[in-house]
Structure 1
């Protein structure tokens, strides 16, 4: 079988990155593909059905499976139409930016604390990172209120089960 996660480096393919989005118990098998930057701009003028056709053709070519031409269900999300995210589910920094400035974007300004996924030290850009950042910011606030000590702000994350 296939793992469901792959990278397509074909410039003609609308999809670049695909991840397995199947539920942990194996029910509801799904893959989620990302159309990035210039490819998204290139496909924006097409209808949803035209994009679906191109995407399915790319998956059929990569997997060698004609079944990919006829998905059971298809959803798409255009992040650039989202008011608050402005085009992407996360920010993309050039190499070295987080190493150089990561601490700065996590620093509170007066009573404003930053807890977005981009401020996470692990899994930045993902839900896990958002949770880590939220918990860290909450502990920073608790420290400022005098409820916990400074060395309790950066707690190790528990192992996943």
Structure 2
């Protein structure tokens, strides 16, 4: 199984929308904990939230830090990306570290060695996320 930490950061308002951002983006920076951010606000606009995954080797190193350290790093990143100090003031933060959970041994994304997808593609569901 893959190494991953899932995070959801809740805010009072969807501040990113007032700045003209959708809330979902790809992060191309190896120094940051996440590779992408998704707007997880409910369809009716309630519970404004940003969802991120800390993947792979990043999950291994960030798992050594506290939940508060991960939260602070993510809020700082969100503030930088969405150009808003509001990102530094979440009203709630939740995370689940599959990597540190006994008897699970990893995250939601298993490692597929060569030949698995090409040999079993019709049996494997692959989720693809597109940003607008």
Q: What TM-score do the two structures reach when normalised by structure 1?
A: 0.58
Counterpart CA distance in 2 for 1:74 and 1:8 is: 20
Within the alignment, does 1:59 sit opposite 2:78 as a pair? yes
Contact 2:76–2:87 (Cα < 8 Å) also in 1: yes
RCO (CA 8 Å, sep 6+): is it higher in 1 or 2? 2
Matched with 1:33 is 52
Contact 2:59–2:99 (Cα < 8 Å) also in 1: no
- TM-aligned CA deviation for residue 83 of structure 1: 4.7
5+ residue gaps in structure 1?
107-118, 127-161
**Which has the larger Rg?**
1
User: Which structure has more strand as a fraction of its residues?
Assistant: 2
Counterpart CA distance in 1 for 2:109 and 2:88 is: 30
- TM-aligned CA deviation for residue 92 of structure 1: 4.2
Matched with 2:35 is 16
Matched with 2:10 is none
Aligned length: 109
Contact 1:15–1:58 (Cα < 8 Å) also in 2: no
- TM-aligned CA deviation for residue 74 of structure 1: 0.6
Residue deviations 1:119-142, cap 9 Å, x none? Answer: 33xxx359xxxxxxxxxxxxxxxx
- TM-aligned CA deviation for residue 95 of structure 1: 7.6
Within the alignment, does 1:93 sit opposite 2:121 as a pair? no
Counterpart CA distance in 2 for 1:95 and 1:23 is: 38
5+ residue gaps in structure 2?
1-16
Moved over 4 A (4+): none
User: Which structure has more helix as a fraction of its residues?
Assistant: 1
Aligned-residue CA RMSD in angstroms? 2.4
SS in 1 for 2:106: coil
Residue deviations 1:49-76, cap 9 Å, x none? Answer: 1111111111111111111111111111
Contact 1:21–1:30 (Cα < 8 Å) also in 2: yes
Matched with 1:116 is none
